[in-house]
Amino acid sequence: MKIGIPRALLYSIYLPLWKTFLEELGHTVILSNHTDQNILDNGVKNCVDDACLPVKIFHGHVTALAGRTDIILIPRLVSVYPGEFICPKFIGLPEMIKHSVPCNPGIIIMNFNARFSMDRGYDGMRNLGRELGATKDLVAQALDRARIRQAEHMRRMEAEPGFNPVRSIDKKDQKPPRLDQGIIGLIGHPYLVYDRYINMNICDKLNERGYGILFPENIPAESVDRACNRYPKKLFWSYGKRLLGSGLCMLENKLVDGLILLTSFGCGIDAFIDELLIRANHREYKIPLTTITLDEHTGQAGFDTRLEAFIDMMEWRSRYDNHVPTYGTGVYPGKSLI
Amino acid sequence: MTITFPHMGQVYIPVKALFDDLGVPVVVPPPVSNKTLEIGTRIAPEMACLPMKINLGNYIQSMEKGADTIVLTGSCGPCRFGYYGIVEQEILRDQGYHAEIIILDAPGRDPRDLLRKIRKISGNSPWKNIIRAFIQASKIVEQTDKLQGIFLRKRPRELNKGQTDDLQSRFEKQILQCRGSKEVMRLIRSFQVKADGIPERADANPLRIGLVGEIYTLIEPYVNLNIEYKLGYLGAEVHRGITIADWVKTHLSMDRKYKKQRKEKLKKGANYLNLCIGGHAWETIASTVDYADAGMDGVIQILPFGCMPEIVAESIIPSISRNRSLPVMTLTVDELTGEAGYLTRLEAFVDLLSQKKGTVYE
Ligand code: SF4
Ligand code: SF4
């Protein structure tokens, strides 16, 4: 069977798992194209106004797959780590699609809920495999192989600073960034920082000015957890925690010369996470930081101006404040990050 | 220690009585007003949910009146509400306020933490008194909801326009003068009798509209621009599935029976949404179906801008509306929502419903 997967939301993180699993079961996986104007327009048209940009774009990708596949896979990520959740919109995503996109062919839902334990999280995939007619043994085997691929993907994200999962999925080389100017931390959800259409190609623009980039995924999970311990209550959104913890970790260990927070207009999680990060920076670290908000009306020109202004400010400050960035210092001692 | 807490509709009535009974000084925040929202909007993140902005305004207005300890409830996801307290604490700290925020999280595996906090805000009263005060408070919650129910029923039916509102505002003035649960209870009961006695028009056959949506927006009249009054005046009887009692029971109590009933009700929406996605979106869907079953004339969904779970519900509701030919309108409110435009939309919706009803009855 030809199964379509929308190239949107968290696909950049989980695609190796999903794709390997389905292929091992003997299906063909078809991805929608990279986000473009057409997909964006269709998304905006087929989604409630109040939704955030990434969710609208997901709707666009679903329409882009219509007619090209036998069925479209919609992941329902409830929780990707025990005791944690992700944004409520991910939990209701299949329903949003069902009721707003005229879906032809139909959709199948793949649940992932690791709230109680990591292994039970995969039950959703096991069930899906059975629904697709595979034997129990085949499902188990496919899942094992998929998990190995996924683990490798995750490992590379943590181990290789600036690793871009989308380039890896597209089987393109990881461009070694020119590091002569410094490093910028780009804090945002994967579907913002890795989707070059949504983010106005910010990564290339930063590279062109000579900056390397650190993504939230580049910071090891333990460091993220440790950095978040300063708050009296556990953060229960996995991605919120990653954004906040990786940002704090970059600040604490002076891994970056500046921080750019990418957020989409109306994002409920970022409203809180960015607020905490900005306050912590303002109080203790005081490195150059800016927030760039993206929505369907964001224009190329305005965006570039903001980015240029930020870089200029950063360079001015490093020249006059005698702020010496410490490249190459690891997140944990004994292990060089760059 | 002087306690304060965020406003949410009439929650202040039982809460104040509770602390009065325990002899703990308590400041009821001034009623939510433009000023409150202004303060909140100034210091909260722009994209924070509206309820949080108003909470912050409440705290600061209460602290100006001497409060130094803020009590609020929490939850553990998936929605933002569970993290309000932490973000609020950070904001207040940077603003130079040193009030302590105590978050009462629903008891998980270890209830000791919750018990310790309760003990603390009770001024270390003996457990016997604490339990008694909580029982009284929950009775007040029930009776307050009941009184509200009478007001809602009467408003579209009253013989003399404005009588219900008069009575309600008199009640709201007098209740603040009461000290302790006994006085509060006596006043509520006397107003229940008075409200019951409001004469009705004989020919009253009001439209029936169900309200669904995000709980804070539903319950706090300032935020929903007094939707219940407005609809009442336009001649519609308003039904609201979620009351303060529901909120208390889901967030704070371990009432098994209630939880079971709730599950039963939620099953009604199973064809459209069959799991909790945070906030009250599941209730929103289930109640909409429920209202269709009950033959309501229409449903209004109301949510604060950017409310994540309700946005999911918003995309599902058109299907229910279509399948059940039930008119549904969604209202999103934020700090810029204007009174005039809002009223126009309500009027238009009520017009639509009465036309529909007219043709049905012909
Ligand atoms: S986390 Fe933010 S951007 Fe992502 S889906 Fe939720 S609201 Fe949208
Ligand atoms: S349900 Fe809506 S208003 Fe309540 S915390 Fe969540 S996003 Fe905010």
Chain A: closest CA distance from residue B315 (Å): 6
Q: Which residues pair with B207 in a beta bridge?
A: B236
Chain A contact present for B231, CB below 8 A: no
CA distance to partner chain A, nearest, from residue B306 (Å) = 5
Which candidate from A48, A89, A283 shows the least CB-CB separation from B308? A89
Residue B175 contacts by C-beta under 8 Å, 6 or more apart in sequence? B13, B184, B187, B188
Enumerate the residues of chain A whose CB falls inside 8 A of the CB of residue B321: none
B45 and A267 in contact by Cβ < 8 A? no
Of A96, A125, A159, the one marking the end of a domain is A159
Show the tokens assigned to B57: 């305004």
* Same domain for A306 and A256: yes
Residue B327: the pLDDT is: 96
- B191 domain residue, yes or no: no
**Are both A179 and A75 inside the same structural domain?**
no
How far is ligand 2, taken at its centre, from the CA of residue A188, in Å? Answer: 21
| 8 Å CB contact of B309 and A85 | no
Average pLDDT over residues A93-110: 88
- The strand pairing partners of B103, in sequence order, are B72
Residue-by-residue DSSP string for B215-268: HHHHH-TTTTTTHHHHHHHTTEEEEES--HHHHHHHHH---HHHHHHHHHHHHT
* Cα–Cα nearest to A162, from A190, A189, A185: A185
Same domain, A190 and A310: yes
Give the three-class secondary structure for A195.
Answer: coil
Domain with B90, as residue range(s), is: 3-133
Minimum-distance ligand to the CA of A85? 1
Residue the block writes with tokens 């569970």: B82
Asked whether residue A211 falls in the same domain as residue A303, the answer is yes
Does residue A328 sit within a domain?
A: no
* Structural domain contains residue A298: yes
| Contact (CB<8Å) B308/A236 | no
- Closest residue, chain A, to B331 (C-alpha): A50
Q: B68 and B215 share a domain? A: no
Q: How confident is the model at residue B202 (pLDDT cuts 50, 70, 90)?
A: confident
Q: Which distant-in-sequence residues (6+ apart) come within 8 Å of A103 by Cβ?
A: A62, A66, A72, A97
Tell me whether residue B171 is in a domain.
no
What confidence tier does A338 reach under pLDDT thresholds 50, 70, 90? very low
Residue B320: give its domain's CATH number. Answer: 3.40.50.11900
User: What's the rounded mean pLDDT across residues A303-320?
Assistant: 89
Confidence of residue B362 (pLDDT cuts 50, 70, 90): very low
Domain count, chain A: 2
In chain A, the N- to C-terminal Cα span, in Å, equals 43
If residue A28 lies in a helix (H) or strand (E), which one and from where to where? strand A28-31
3-class SS of residue A81: coil
Give the residue from B133, B159, B190 where a domain finishes.
B133
In a shared domain, residues A215 and A152: no
Which residues' Cβ are closer than 6 Å to ligand 1? A 52, 54-55, 87, 89, 189, 264, 267-270; B 308
Residues B216 and B353 in one domain: yes
The answer to whether A86 contacts B78, with C-beta atoms less than 8 Å apart, is: yes
Q: Smallest Cα–Cα separation from B223: which of B43, B46, B6?
A: B6
In a domain? residue B259: yes
Residue listed under structure tokens 């970022």: A270
B189 Cα to chain A: minimum distance (Å): 41
Residue A18 lies in a domain: yes
Nearest alpha carbon to residue B158 among B200, B196, B208, B193 = B200
Domain that holds residue A11: 2-159
Torsion of CA A94, A100, A104, A106, to 10 degrees: 20
Indicate if the pLDDT at residue A327 is higher than 50.
no
Grade residue A178 by pLDDT with cuts at 50, 70 and 90: low
- Give a yes or no: residue A334 inside a domain: no
Average pLDDT over chain B, rounded to an integer? 89
- Region B198-222: mean pLDDT is 91
pLDDT confidence of residue A105:
74
Smallest CA–CA separation between A266 and chain B, in Å?
Answer: 5
Ligand 2 site, CB within 6 A: A 268; B 49, 51, 79-81, 214, 279, 304, 307-310
Shared domain for A281 and A313, answered yes or no, is: yes
Q: What is the CATH number for B111? A: 3.40.50
Query: Residue B217: inside a domain, yes or no?
Result: yes
Boundary-marking domain end, from B86, B114, B133? B133
Q: Burial level of A139, CB count in 10 A (0-12/13-18/19+)?
A: buried
**Domain final residue pick, B99, B116, B133:** B133
CB spacing of A50 vs B332 below 8 angstroms: yes
B213 and B340 share one domain: yes
Residues B129 and B209 both lie in one domain: no
d(CA B261, CA B244): 16
Instruction: Quote the pTM value.
Output: 0.90
For A14-23, b where at least 16 C-beta lie within 10 A, e where not — what string?
bbbbbbbbbe
Specify if B295 maps to a domain. Answer: yes
For the residues A164-170, what does the mean pLDDT come to?
A: 92
CATH number at residue A120: 3.40.50.11890
Identify from B103, B277, B289 which residue to disrupt to test chain A contact, counting A C-beta atoms within 10 A and taking the largest count.
B277
Question: Which pLDDT band holds residue B257 (cuts at 50, 70, 90)?
Answer: confident
Which residue of chain B has the CA closest to A91?
A: B277
Q: What is the CATH number of the domain that holds A281?
A: 3.40.50
Decide if A335 is inside a domain: no
Domain shared by A299 and A256, yes or no: yes
- Structural domains counted in chain B: 2
Residue A121 covered by a domain: yes
